[in-house]
Structure 1
Amino acid sequence: MQHTDKSLQRKVNFLLYYAVISTSIFLVFILSSFVGKDKNLTADEITVKRITVVGEDNLPRMVLSNETRQHSGRMEGKEFPKRERPAGIIFFTNKGDECGGIVAATTAKDGSVNHGMSFTMDNYHDDQVIQLLNDETYENGKAEVSRGLMFNEYPVGSNLNDRMAKTEELKKIADPKEREAKIGELWDKEGAKRRMFIGRNVNADAGVFLYDAKGKPKMKIYVDKAGNPKIEVRDSTGKYKNIIQQ
């Protein structure tokens, strides 16, 4: 009887070892099918909250994400602090620097609804210089809509990281008025300047709107809400003159 018990125990142990080894081999096979260097995953459909595409250097090239997990941005090897960003696609250069994106969002608050979508391209080491935008706001039965193509310009050699660092230092100024004035001076000197807008503005004027190197509006070629064609030039006093004879 004792001999039978030992024989049975050996068989049980053998089956246990066999199960453990077989399971381990199976798991290794499954995992290797996903993590193998030259393996490809093919699927008809996937549902995810975020996809990060990286280069061979493991730096980001593209991030497709919902708003909760969206990439906060990256430049010159520095990750930006976590911040609210819409769902969409963020693009990065082969150096891992953010260089633009496509985002969209709809928000509602206190009876007001804002709906927008934006496709942007960034300046080297700075923020957006080309933007294709649709921006709609509705409140109390009224609409404020702007949609079109915008061109901005930064000073040569501008750097977003440097400007943000300077801004953080200026925020330490105790006097509110002086603090706001200094920050305004910094961004007026080193920030973006609007150069051109092609599209429909909030006044329902559709046309081409031109600005000087300081971002000041200078000329408008458009058709107004009433259907009147106009070419307006802004003089030194800030007044516009329609050069089309009515």
Structure 2
Amino acid sequence: MIDEKTNKMTELELEKLNIVDKQGTVRMTLFNQDHIPPALMDGEDILPGHRDDNPFAGIMFFNNEGDECGGMIFGNERDEEGNYRASASMTFDQYKQDQVVQMMYIDDNGERHYGFNIFDRPDVSLKQQLDETKEIEESHLDDEAKAEAIDQVWKGSTQRAFMGKNKKGEVSVKLMDSKGKDRIRMVVDENDIPRMEFLDGEGNVLYKLPPDDLKK
């Protein structure tokens, strides 16, 4: 729509918009659910078909090399019985890797989970991890050996912290070790009862506040 007085466009209706730099490299894309960009790295879709059925619109960010480096997505879906699932996420990716910072919201038919996550990522590229995983899956190794080899490929891709609210209604802060295991949990539960726990690498509580003997 063009304003006749100023000759300026006041409204634009389209399904996808690419913002490019002077060299023509896409730096940001606005899209609807029918035009979700592929997961691009080194000029290649590293996860072909991965987003084909996603009901999301949003904004995708790309770095100077045209690699995806984060974005914001939002959307929902509802079945014939009226059950719904809604979600939104904003992420920032490590160079040549996956997200290291995420703000997210999920509403699964009234069960809500939302908060802030941080992750560790290895120094190898995400494309290399995916290629090595595919090679292992297509190998003649037995299932146990494949699982162990794939675990090694993805070693270092680990969630390290969460702050938010879970489906039980607990508001929590969780700090994880390098293996993704909870080591510190601070919680205010659905009954407004606070607690703090320190855990070992196996998930056993070593110390907590308030201690059990204080409750007796």
TM-score of Structure 1 vs Structure 2, range by shorter chain? 0.7 to 0.9
Partner of 2:78: 108
Q: Aligned with 1:163: secondary structure? A: helix
Q: Return the structure number with greater strand share.
A: 2
Partner of 2:98: 127
Partners of 2:148 and 2:202 lie apart in 1 by 26
> How do residues 31-46 of structure 1 correspond to structure 2 at under 5 angstroms?
42-46=8-12
Identity in percent = 27
Q: Return the structure number with greater helix share.
A: 1
TM-score by length of 2: 0.83
Amino acid of the residue matched to residue 98 of structure 2?
D
1:107–1:225 Cα change, 3 Å: same
Partner of 1:19: none
Q: 1:171·1:179 contact (CA, 8 Å) conserved in 2?
A: no
Partners of 2:29 and 2:183 lie apart in 1 by 39
> How do residues 1-246 of structure 1 correspond to structure 2 at under 5 angstroms?
42-80=8-46, 81-84=48-51, 85=54, 86-109=56-79, 111=81, 112-138=83-109, 143-155=110-122, 157-173=123-139, 177-178=143-144, 181-182=147-148, 184-190=150-156, 192-240=157-205, 241-245=207-211, 246=215
Q: 2:181·2:203 contact (CA, 8 Å) conserved in 1?
A: no
Amino acid of the residue matched to residue 204 of structure 1?
G
Q: Which is greater in Rg?
A: 1
Amino acid of the residue matched to residue 130 of structure 2?
M
Cα deviations by residue, 1:193-218 (Å, 9 ceiling, x for unpaired): 01100111222210211101111111
Between Structure 1 and Structure 2, how many residues are aligned?
200
Q: 2:17·2:29 contact (CA, 8 Å) conserved in 1?
A: yes
For structure 2, the 5+ residue unaligned runs are 1-6
Amino acid of the residue matched to residue 209 of structure 1?
K
Note the aligned Cα RMSD (angstroms).
2.2
1:77 deviates by 2.8
TM-score by length of 1: 0.74
Partners of 1:176 and 1:106 lie apart in 2 by 39
Taking CA–CA contacts closer than 8 Å with sequence separation of 6 or more, which of the two structures ends up with the larger relative contact order?
2
